[in-house]
Structure formats: structure tokens, C-alpha cells
Amino acid sequence: MEKANSTHFAPLRTLPPETWIGDPGVLTRPTLLILNSRQNRYPVGDEPWVRQTIAAVQWAAQRDMAVLSSLGMITWELITWASAEAFGDVVVVVGLPPNLGRRASVDWHERIFSDFNLIDQHTCLIPYLESAKPKESWAARDQWLFAHADRIAPVSVRPNGSLAELMDREPFRHRISETFRVPYDPRPPSFPSIPEPDEVHEVLRDLEWDHVVHWTRANAGPWPGETPASFYEALARSRGAYPRDAEATLARILTEQRIRATGWRMPLGRAMTSFSALHPADMMPLMVRQRRFVRMSYEPYGIAIRREVLETIGGQPVRYGPPAEQKTLPAVERLFFQSGKPGGYDWSVEQEWRVKGEVPLDALNPEEALVLVPTLECAKRIREWTSLPVRSLRNA
């Protein structure tokens, strides 16, 4: 069932064919490998690499070729989604997290089919055993994909990168098709400018500030609770603006009438919703680009709720202290405790409040909450999504 591998590669620990999900016969068809190097983390559908990637998938589907793909990066996942959309054949090579039991692994892989709208008779999902750090398996995975490709279609490949190096090897250089190639030119991520604190003080001077604010930002990938299929459909249709930017994220919160909780970086992994008691003007200097995570710490889009209202649903201010103290606290108290390393970031400047679980917005009235956005033009758009007052943090 596997094609011959004429080149020596670092082995990928794929599971035996009897564990594959979908139709293993897909791998007997002529195969196409579509290549993209790392791109902007917040892409838009009118970028050349997105358009050409989808075009290459559609080209393969029209010729009954099986597309080779994977998951874990937006460049691979776009290919997987586009294959499902085109009702084309696709082989998805996907890592199996370590220490996942058999039943859990079956459920996990079946969820991949659901998340990407994949069809059994058009898909073969081949699991492999991941390393403890998943990225350490990616080189072996890429080599496996190259070895099983009858034709290779580079789209946006970084010169002198790992994919370019593989393309130049024998026998792969003779399988290259340049039909869909575009220059490798990733767009830099774009984030909104931050209002000046003095201007924020000026535009909010009529408010008696007794609120806490949940600030949001662009979401890299699907929103919490959103399927990858929904995200990639929105990405493919988007023009000009990233479809999950901070404004869209705020509009979704207002549409759902709830702020979803997250367990990321929370004590015990418990899903919590975070707020800041800082006045918005004092929050602006803390809105900075985090290069490590390729994102802003926060963006000037928020929902402000009066403190007394938040307290009625369990909101509490976070207490700050050393890591050693956190270990001595009961589990419930840990949820409202933030430790910091000596010399590290001083979390206390954010004056954080937390709520266990999500925060419903449907019962709030205009005296209890308001929405904050960076510009008057944005305020006009956001008012279409909510009955709460919407205030611009700028005069323009």
C-alpha cells in the first residue's frame, strides 16, 4: 500500500495500516504534495499563498489525485480543509499525542473528521507517534510526505528553508511542478494602534469609573468552541482583514452574549474569565506586542462591567504572591492567586479579577456594562451587535 521510499530518511513512527481511519485505498492513487513554508499567523483569504493553495487542491480533486497533508500548522490545515470542501481525496498524516489510550485516540481521530468535515471514503488518516515535543517529529513527517508524493507543488516556500532543501534532493527535484508557485513573502501581522492615555482619560471623563474590563485580542486560529472547518471557511472568504481579529472577536462575544472562559495559564487548568480593574487609560501602556507569542498582550477592545455586578456572579480580585505561597493554598483559593518569579513580569500591575467559568452578558442592562473600542468608526459597527452602550477610546 505504501509507495517505495528510495531515499534514506529519519523514520516516522506511523501506526500499522489496521489502525488507519477512513479509506486506506486513497493512498494507492496518484498523490500531490502541496508545500507552504511558515506564513503570517493572521492570514487573509486574498493573500496569494492562500488562493494558490486552494487552487492546487481543487486542481488535484479534478484529476482524482490524493492530496498529502497534515495538521498542527495553518498551512497544512488549510490544505486539509480545502480537500474536504472540494470532495477530493486526502491523506492526513497526524501525530498521536503520547500516553493517549486506545479509546481516547480513536475518539480524538474521529473528532478530526468532524472538525474538518472530512468524508471517510475520500480520506485516509494515518496516525504516527509524536515525540514528547510534537515539533520534533515534524522533520520526519515532512520527509515521509515527500517520499510518498508522485508530484510536488510548491506554493510559497522559503528559499534555503527545510522544505526547499528537501525539494532539491534526488529524486524529488524531478517531481516538482511550478504551476502554483508564488513568491515567499509573508505579510507581517497587523495590529491596531493603541490610543494615548491622555485621550482615553478625556473621552471617558464623564464616567464614574467603578468597572472591571475584559480586554480581548485577535485569535490565532479558531475561536474557543469553533470548529477548524468554520474557521478556514471564514479565512478563505476573507478580504482585507483577518477574520478572527479583535473586532470580530468582540462582535462574536456580543453575539453569543457571553465571555467564554479559558484554562490557559490558569491555576489547575481551571477555565476562568479574566478582567482588569485598571482604568482604561492606565491599561493602554500595557497593550504591547508579545514577540514570543506573535500577538498583542491585549488590544483596545473590551467589555466593562461594574464591579458590584461582577461580584454577584463570583468575581474576585486576584491576590499576588510568591510561588511557594501558592502551593500552601486550598484549591479554591489558588484560582484567585497569581504567583510570579523574582525578577519576572509583575502581574500585579494588571489588577486582575477572575470569575470561575464563563460570564453571561444577556442579563446586563446599559447601567451595568459598556463596550469599549478604539475608534468612532469601530463603535458604529459594533453598535449593530449589542444594546449596551459603546464608547470609543478616541475622539476620532
The band of 342, judged by pLDDT with boundaries at 50, 70 and 90, is low
* Pairwise CA distance, residues 383 & 250, whole Å: 11
Query: Is residue 164 predicted with pLDDT exceeding 90?
Result: yes
Per residue in 132-160, pLDDT (tens digit) is: 777 888 999 999 999 999 999 999 999 99
CATH annotation of 17-175 = 3.40.50.450
Please tell me the pTM assigned to this model.
0.91
pLDDT in tens, 8-48: 445 888 888 988 999 999 999 999 999 999 999 999 999 99
How confident is the model at residue 108, as a pLDDT? 82
pLDDT attached to residue 112: 95
The mean of the pLDDT values for the chain is 92
Give the pLDDT confidence of 56-67 residue by residue, as tens digits. Answer: 999 999 999 999
Each domain of the chain, given as residue ranges in start order, spans: 17-175, 197-392
Give burial (CB, 10 Å; 0-12/13-18/19+) of 218. Answer: buried
Q: What is the pLDDT of residue 10?
A: 55
Per-residue pLDDT for 119 more than 90? yes
- Cis-peptide into 366, omega within 30 deg: no
Closest residue by Cα to residue 216 from 243, 258, 261, 249? 249
More confident call, 11 vs 191: 191
* Torsions phi, psi for 175 (to 5 deg): -105, 5
Give the whole-number percent of the chain exceeding pLDDT 70: 96
Residues 60-89 as b or e (16 or more Cβ within 10 Å = b)? bbeeebbbbbbbeebbbbbbbbbbbbbebb
Q: What pLDDT score does 99 carry?
A: 74
Q: What is the pLDDT of residues 280-297, one digit of tens each?
A: 999 999 999 988 888 899
Residue whose grid cell is 462591567: 305
